Amino acid sequence: MNKPVMPLSSYQLKLPKADRGIETYRLAASRRFPAKLQGTLNRVAFSAAHVVSDPLADVDPWLVSAVDWDRTIAFREHIWDLGLGVAEAMDTAQRGMGLDWPTSLELIQRSVRAAKARGGALVFSGAGTDHLAVEDAKSIDDVIRAYEEQIAAIEMAGGRIILMASRALAKLGRSADDYARVYNRVLSQVRQPVIIHWLGDMFDPALANYWGTDNLDTAMDIAVGIINANANKVDGVKVSLLDKQREIDMRRRLDNNVKMYTGDDFNYAELIAGDDQGFSHALLGIFDAIAPAASYALSRLSAGDEAGFHDVLGPTVPLSRHIFKAPTRFYKTGIVFMAFLNGHQDHFTMVGGQESTRSTLHLAELFRLADQAGLLSNPEMATRRMKTVLALRGIEA
C-alpha cells in the first residue's frame, strides 16, 4: 500500500545526509494545532518541561547554570494553556545534568507561584537527593535525610511531589529491604499523594540496578510491592524503561487507586490509548516538544475520536524515537532544539553547554521528522533558524 504523499510548502533548504551528501529539502504543508485546549481531557497529561538558558550570562556553562526565568515561565504558561500539567525540575530540565538543587528549587518556587496565579494550574515537582553527592552518601539514613530535605522545601513552597529516583540509593541500596525502608519512611511523611518515578539507566547510567537488582522482573516485583503497600500515599507511578510490555504488566498489577503515567517516549500513543484492561496517563519529556499536537490529540481521544487521536499523535512517534535514541540521556538537546525552531526561545543554548551533545546529522533528521509530523508551527521561522544553525556547522544555504 502506498503511503499518502504530503503536500509541499514553498519553503526549502539544504540538509546534510548520512552519505555525507547534501539534499535540497522542501517542507511539507504545515498542520495547524490550536494554541489552547479545545474541549476536555480524559487523561491526566504532564509535560516534563525544559528550562531556557540565559545565553548572555557571564558564567562558565559547564560549571554554573544560568536560567532565563521569564522565558522559562512563559514556556510553562504555554503548556498550561494547552490543558497539560507541568512536571517541574525533572530530568528534561537537566536536573542533575547541569541544573543543581538550589537552582531547581528556585525553578520549583517560581513555577508553583505561576501556577497559583492561574488559579491552580497543574504542577508537580521533582524531589530527589541530588544535593547529596553520591560519594558523600555513606548510609541509607543519609538518603532518607536528603529526600526529606527536598520534600520539605517543595512542600513549604506549596508544591506537589514527584519522588525521583536517587543515584545515592542506587549506590547504597543492596536489597528490597533497603528500598522499602527508604520509600516507606519518606512516603509516611508526605502531605499529599506523590508520583513515583522509576527512571531507567538508559536515561541515567548512575541508576543501574535500581530497586537493588539487575533483574527487571525482580525489580518490578519490589517496586509494585512497595507502591501497593503505600497506595494511599501514591497518586501514580511514572515508568521510564522504554519497554511497553513492562509498563502494561506493571499497570495491571498496581492498586486500583494508583495511576500509571507512561514515561515511554517510544510507545506513548498506544499506551495512552490503552486496551480493554486499562490505559496509561502521561508524564512525558516529548510532550514538551509536541505540546500543541499532544493537547489536540488528547482532546480528540476524550471526544471519542480515537482515529483522530492516532492521526495526530501517531506521526509524532518517529520524531520522539529519534530525539530519544541512544545515548538516551542526550534527548534534552532535541527538546530544546524544537523549542528554538518553534520560537519559544531565541537561541539554541543549553544549561551545561549540552547543545553540543547531538550531531549536525541528528539535528537535520529531527527537522525532517518534525516537518513531516506537522510540528513546525511557523515553517518560515523554523527554516530560517535551521539555516542559521547549519551555517555555523559549515553548511551554507
Residue bearing cell 556553562 = 61
3-state SS, one letter per residue, for 33-78: CCCCCCCCCCCCEEEECCCCECCCCCCCCCCCCCECHHHHHHHHHH
**In the prediction, which pLDDT does 30 show?**
76
Can you list the positions of beta strands (E) in 73-166? 85-88, 123-127, 160-163
Angstrom distance (rounded) from CA 200 to CA 244: 13
Confidence check: pLDDT of 185 > 80 = yes
* Confidence (pLDDT) at 6: 54
Going by C-alpha positions, the residue among 353, 286, 275, 344 that lies closest to residue 313 is 286
Q: How far apart are CA 285 and CA 292, in angstroms?
A: 14
2 pLDDT tier (thresholds 50, 70, 90): very low
Question: Would you place residue 9 in the very low, low, confident or very high pLDDT band (cuts 50, 70, 90)?
Answer: low
Residue 355: CA count within 13 A, CB half-sphere: 19
| 4 pLDDT higher than 60 | no
- Domains by residue range for the chain, with CATH: 1-30+359-397 (no CATH), 36-354 (3.20.20.70)
Which pLDDT value is given to residue 272? Answer: 98
| Predicted pLDDT at 29 | 77
Residue 3 has pLDDT above 50, yes or no: no
Interhelix angle for 306-313 vs 316-323, to 10°?
40
Percent over 90 (pLDDT), the chain: 94
Is residue 350 scored above 90 in pLDDT?
yes
Q: Collapsing DSSP states into helix, strand and coil, what is residue 130?
A: coil
| Digit-coded pLDDT (tens) for 16-73 | 999 999 999 999 977 899 999 999 999 999 999 999 999 999 999 888 999 999 999 9
d(CA 265, CA 192): 27
Q: What is the pLDDT of residues 304-316, one digit of tens each?
A: 999 999 999 999 9
pLDDT tens figures, 371-382 = 999 999 999 999
Contact 356, 363 (CB under 8 A): no
pLDDT digits (tens, 9 = 90+) for 84-105: 999 999 999 999 899 999 999 9
Look up cell 486496551; give the residue.
275
Residue 123 CB: number of other CB atoms within 10 A? 27
For residue 1, is pLDDT > 70? Answer: no
| Residue 295 confidence (pLDDT) above 70 | yes
Q: What is the pTM assigned to this prediction? A: 0.95
